[in-house]
Structures are given as C-alpha cells and as structure tokens.
C-alpha cells in the first residue's frame, strides 16, 4: 500500500486482509455498514469512528489515516472571519525589516502592566468568557510583540519573552477550544521558541503540553504521543527535590501522552502512562492550580479523571460510571476545567447505556455552569443525539432547550 493512500483505501486493505466483510466489520465496531462503505468510498469520519474501526481490526488508529508526513488539519480555520484580528496578531506578514503592521512604540512598554493584563485574560479563559478572550487576545499579543522588540537585551528582554510565551499559550488554548487548530499550533510553536530562547524549561514544557493537545485534536496521534512522552522523559524531575510546578508539568505531559495512546488503540501504554502520572500526583498530594502557565489543575484527582476519560475512549461506559461513583463529593469546585470534561464523559456514558434522563441532567448542569465551554464541545452534541435517538416519548423541556443550544436536530 502506498504511503499516500486514502483512509478508505487503508481501511479496505486491512479489512480484506482480516477476511472481514463490510457488514462484519460494522458489527464488530458497533457502527452501521453504511458508515464503513462511506469511508471506503472516500468519505470522511470523526476520529472516534476511526478509533472504533481500529479497535475492531486490532490496529493502531493512526494506521487508518496518518501518513508518515505530518497530517493536514481536517478542521481548517480559513473561513473563521471572526478570528481575523487574532490571526493578524499571531501570524502577521514578515517584510525584510520585520513584521508588517506593527506600529513603532514611542513609550517604553510596561512589563508589569502587561503581565497583569495577561493574568486578567487567563482568568477570563478559565471562567469560559470566550467573547472576552476574542476581544482581549489580539491586542495583548501585539503588545507582547512590541515589548520583545523594544527590550533587546538583559533581564527585561527575558521577561518580555516569558510573558509573550505565556500569552501565546493562552491564545493557543482558546484557539484549540474553538477548533482553529492550525493557528493554535502556530501560536504554541512560537511560545515554545520564546521559552527555549531564555532557558525557561517550565514555560517550554507548558507550551508543549498545549502542542500535544492540538496534535491530538487534529488526529496526529503518533506525533502527539511522541512529543509529550519524549518531553516528559527530558524534564522528569527528582521527586524528592522537585517543585510542585515541575511535578505538575511532568504529570501533564504524561497525561497528554496517555490520552494520545488511548485514542491510538494502545490501551496498555495508556494505562502505564497514567500510572506514571499518578506518581507525580501522589507526590503532590493535592491539586496544583496555575491559571497562567498551567493547563488547568494537576494532582491526584486530575490523574483519576483522565484515567476515566481513557475508559470512555475505549467505549467502556460501565467502567466510566463505576469509577465516577467512587470519586469524593464536591471535587468539581476545585478542578473546573477537568471536571467539566469529566461530567461530559459521564453524560456520554449514560447516553450509551440508554439512561437518557441521567444524561440530560448532566448536560443541563454543564450548560448552567459553563455554557460557552459546552457550546464548543462536539461530544456534548453527540451525547444529546444519542439520547434523542433512543427516546420514545416527547422530548422534555430541558431536551428541547439543549437541542437548540447545541444545534442538534430533535
């Protein structure tokens, strides 16, 4: 098979080598025969669909659609006019003398105020104030460019590079949430470069955690696992001497690698990586929260939530619900980002088990708590579709409102 073969050709070839008909593969993977036929004819599908097919065929998910060269982003953001201002700030044209459109700064940039603005933007992100982020980030990114250009040497140059790395990471987080993956990757790549240029290993590791997330969302699973896993090896701290932030960065890298392995049909590797992350979590004892540099909280609870997420990836809803029941009460207040994702996994597990009312209840609570976050979660729409597909009675008021909110046809 040629390296540039399509996913449909790869799927057909592996299926035939396994001696399976399209109908039998559909049965083994829990999909319809129509889906298998569509992909083999050249159609596209969600990453979760490829994962189900790979599990049935006992191959890695990437074997179905990743070529040896970097995979092209399937969710191109070229038509996102709303992001035009942020795109101009992150990737301006470059002339012979520098970036086009960056005004000369008469006054010396105030690094203290710039960092305070960055903290305010980070708070908006973690409170799911996405419209505010869209307004704040373009000017914030441009201001960090100006600061780096103004301070060319010494401690102020180092500080300017550090704050630009942090701001670009925030932009990367926001852009990943709204599925502008290529632009997110560009912002995070530049964030790594800034951090490396000043020897800031924690900032660089944080940006790489973000890069791995983008690669995972793009379906570049092998790259995501290697990037996060290799970086984890490079920054692995001595447990007895490590700072809490060093342990959190190491743990998050391991969790990103685990999430990639789980989606790539490598469950044993995924479990081993979670176990290693648990070492960092146990050493911390409690959750570490850093809204500017960190990617949400990290600690023993986060490790458990991500282990449960891997069970959802493996289509084991009973395990998801059983493990969730053993969590302590009230933990969501301290871990909002990870907790929201966990609650979404619970909703999906209930939907898969045909517990429509329970799934609806969880989605309603998520909408009340984090509406902007939920609106951008495709898995929420998938869970609601599963609920509506199996409901025999008239939709409830909550289900009708959720369908309108998530743009799901009832």
Q: What is the pLDDT of residue 117?
A: 87
pTM, two decimals, is 0.81
Q: What is the pLDDT of residue 329?
A: 62
Task: Evaluate if residue 70 carries a pLDDT over 60.
Answer: no
pLDDT tier, 122 (very low <50, low <70, confident <90, very high otherwise)? confident
DSSP codes joined into one string, 320-351: HHHHHHTSPTTGGGG-HHHHHHHHHHHHHHHH
Q: Do 181 and 124 share a domain, yes or no?
A: yes
Does residue 323 lie in a domain region? no
Among residues 262, 200, 205, which one has the least CA distance to residue 236?
Answer: 205
CA distances from 69 to 4, 66, 347 (A): 9, 8, 36
More confident residue, 128 or 108: 108
Residue with tokens 């290529």: 182
Residue-wise pLDDT for 323-355, tens only, equals: 999 987 655 444 567 888 999 999 999 999 999
Q: What is the pLDDT of residue 71?
A: 38
Does residue 19 lie in a domain region? yes
Q: What is the pLDDT of residue 223?
A: 95
Q: What is the pLDDT of residue 69?
A: 38
Does residue 169 lie in a domain region? yes
Q: Do 142 and 168 share a domain, yes or no?
A: yes
Given a contact cutoff of 8 angstroms between Cβ atoms, the answer to whether 88 and 141 are in contact is no
Q: Do 84 and 164 share a domain, yes or no?
A: yes
Q: Do 143 and 182 share a domain, yes or no?
A: yes
Q: Do 61 and 79 share a domain, yes or no?
A: no
Q: What is the pLDDT of residue 321?
A: 96
- Segment 33-45 mean pLDDT: 86
Residue with tokens 């799927």: 11
Task: Evaluate if residue 82 carries a pLDDT over 90.
Answer: no
Residue-wise pLDDT for 211-228, tens only, equals: 999 999 998 999 999 999
Q: Pick from 21, 40, 65: which residue ends a domain?
A: 65
Among residues 360, 330, 324, 329, which one has the least CA distance to residue 342?
Answer: 324
pLDDT tier, 287 (very low <50, low <70, confident <90, very high otherwise)? confident
- Segment 25-44 mean pLDDT: 88
Q: Pick from 148, 165, 199: which residue ends a domain?
A: 199
List the domain range (segments joined by +) for residue 54: 7-65
Task: Evaluate if residue 301 carries a pLDDT over 70.
Answer: yes
Does residue 132 lie in a domain region? yes
Q: Say how far apart CA 28 and CA 37 lie, in whole Å.
A: 15
Q: Do 21 and 125 share a domain, yes or no?
A: no
- Segment 369-382 mean pLDDT: 89
Residue-wise pLDDT for 245-257, tens only, equals: 999 999 999 999 9
> How many domains does the chain fold into?
2
Q: What is the pLDDT of residue 104?
A: 54
Q: Do 56 and 84 share a domain, yes or no?
A: no
Q: Do 21 and 42 share a domain, yes or no?
A: yes
Q: What share of the chain has pLDDT > 70, as a percent?
A: 87
Q: Pick from 153, 170, 199: which residue ends a domain?
A: 199
Does residue 334 lie in a domain region? no
Task: Evaluate if residue 78 carries a pLDDT over 80.
Answer: no
């Amino acid at each position: 098979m040629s390296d540039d073969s399509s996913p449909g050709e790869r799927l057909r070839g592996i299926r035939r080598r396994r001696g399976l008909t399209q109908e039998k593969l559909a049965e083994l993977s829990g999909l319809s025969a129509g889906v298998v036929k569509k992909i083999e004819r050249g159609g596209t599908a969600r990453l979760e669909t490829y994962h189900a097919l790979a599990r049935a065929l006992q191959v890695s998910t990437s074997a179905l659609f990743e070529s040896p060269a970097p995979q092209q982003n399937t969710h191109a953001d070229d038509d996102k006019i709303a992001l035009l201002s942020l795109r101009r700030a992150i990737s301006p044209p470059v002339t012979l003398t520098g970036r086009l459109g960056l005004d000369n700064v008469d006054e010396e940039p105030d690094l203290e105020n710039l960092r305070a603005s960055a903290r305010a933007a980070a708070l908006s992100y973690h409170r799911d104030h996405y419209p505010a982020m869209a307004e704040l980030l373009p000017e914030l990114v441009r201001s960090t460019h100006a600061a780096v250009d103004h301070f060319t040497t010494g401690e102020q140059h180092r500080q300017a590079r550090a704050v630009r790395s942090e701001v670009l990471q925030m932009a990367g987080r926001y852009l990943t949430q709204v599925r502008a993956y290529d632009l997110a990757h560009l912002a995070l790549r530049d964030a790594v470069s800034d951090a490396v240029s000043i020897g800031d290993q924690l900032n660089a590791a944080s940006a790489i955690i973000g890069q791995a997330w983008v690669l995972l969302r793009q379906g570049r699973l092998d790259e995501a696992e290697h990037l996060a896993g290799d970086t984890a090896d490079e920054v692995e701290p001595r447990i007895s001497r490590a700072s809490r932030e060093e342990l959190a960065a190491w743990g998050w890298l391991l969790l990103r690698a685990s999430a990639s392995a789980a989606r790539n049909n490598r469950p044993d590797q995924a479990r081993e990586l979670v176990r290693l992350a648990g070492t960092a979590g146990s050493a911390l004892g409690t959750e570490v929260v850093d809204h500017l540099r960190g990617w949400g909280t990290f600690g023993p609870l986060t490790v458990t939530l991500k282990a449960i997420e891997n069970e959802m990836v493996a289509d084991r809803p009973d395990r998801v619900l059983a493990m969730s029941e053993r969590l302590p009460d009230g933990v969501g207040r301290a871990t909002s980002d990870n907790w929201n994702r966990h609650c979404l996994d619970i909703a999906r597990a209930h939907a898969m088990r045909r517990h429509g009312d329970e799934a609806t209840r969880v989605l309603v609570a998520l909408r009340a708590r984090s509406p902007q976050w939920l609106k951008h979660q495709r898995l929420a729409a998938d869970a609601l579709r599963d609920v509506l597909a199996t409901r025999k009675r008239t939709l409830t008021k909550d289900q009708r409102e959720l369908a309108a909110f998530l743009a799901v046809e009832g």
